Amino acid sequence: MWIAENWKDYEVIDCSGGEKLERWGNYILVRPDPQVIWNTPKKQPGWKRMNAHYHRSKKGGGEWEFFDLPEQWQIRYKKLTFNLKPFNFKHTGLFPEQAVNWDWFSEKIQNAGRPVKVLNLFAYTGGATLAAAAAGAHVTHVDASKGMVQWAKENAASSGLSDRPVRWLVDDCVKFVEREIRRGNHYDGIIMDPPSYGRGPKGEIWKIEDSIHDFVKLCAQILSDEPLFFLINSYTTGLAPAVLTYMLETEINSAHSGMVLSDEIGLPVSSTGLVLPCGASGRWCAK
């Protein structure tokens, strides 16, 4: 498992009974987590001193209960600064486990010894975009949500990266890649974090198990002649690491001989010393 263990402003303190106890900077949150199927005694004091608690509804969705939490606050990862706020469906605007991937591709970019163009698809609030830009890459950030792209820009400003070469685009990712093929544009690194289900700006439907393989195949056409890396993240239960390996081997490594590795990603749990699984990632990189 690849573990995001270099955080100072974030930690999973404990997890039990379908929930995780987290520290986000100076604030303690309790949020549901479907992976936490065990029910162990909640001895950590944070369970009784939380700043906010997201309650999952049996009918789907849920709502926040606030005790003492600002509307927005910040945490840092190395030189990056992220603006956080609780919003619908339990999220805060950041997936801390992805830091293990930021570190991986940042090293690739820094060691490339040449200009690197990176495409970040389904780019959300820009964690990967900021990491790639800070490492020295020219980045194209694409997300279908105007609000998420604006949030990512704010994160870039907070991180002192507003002057870096980043294109911020509100667009349907599939249609954008199709246009890039027609334009003849290419990228040295591609990052994608596709949702299990989603809609584009004009109602385009995305269902990951039906769409992901064709999309990887499409993206392979915009890789440069000397690509550096290709990263797929998945939070969908049916897409095991081995599935990601298979797609990357057949669509990327068959044309660009390199190395494919896929695994679960996770976060250390400070009270137990164990690791909470948080999805899977597939990585291709040049040798």
pLDDT tens-place string over residues 116-137: 999 999 999 999 999 999 999 9
Distance between terminal CA atoms of the chain? 21
AA identity, residue 194: P
Q: Residue ranges of the domains in the chain?
A: 2-84, 97-286
The confidence score (pLDDT) of residue 206 equals: 67
Q: In the CATH scheme, what is the code of domain 2-84?
A: 2.60.40.1180
Retrieve residue 38's tokens. Answer: 């065990």
This prediction has a pTM of: 0.94
- CATH fold of 97-286: Rossmann fold (3.40.50)
Its sign, for the CA torsion 152, 153, 158, 162, is positive
AA identity, residue 212: I
The confidence score (pLDDT) of residue 200 equals: 63
Scanning the structure block, which residue is given the tokens 């749990």? 269
2-84 and 97-286: identical CATH topology: no
Which residues are CB-neighbours of 228 under 8 A, at least 6 positions away? 108, 109, 112, 116, 188, 189, 285, 286
pLDDT along the chain (287 residues), means of 10: 98 98 98 95 96 89 94 98 92 97 98 97 97 98 96 98 98 95 98 81 70 93 98 86 95 95 97 97 96
The confidence score (pLDDT) of residue 195 equals: 80
AA identity, residue 183: R
The confidence score (pLDDT) of residue 131 equals: 98
pLDDT tens-place string over residues 202-220: 676 767 777 889 999 999 9
Question: In this structure, what are the phi and psi dihedrals at residue 110, rounded to the nearest 5 degrees?
Answer: -65, -30
Q: Are strands 229-234 and 189-192 parallel, antiparallel or unpaired?
A: parallel
Where does residue 287 rank: exposed (0-12), middle (13-18), buried (19+ CB within 10 A)? exposed
Retrieve residue 151's tokens. Answer: 């949030």
Question: In this structure, what are the phi and psi dihedrals at residue 168, rounded to the nearest 5 degrees?
Answer: -105, 115
The confidence score (pLDDT) of residue 198 equals: 72
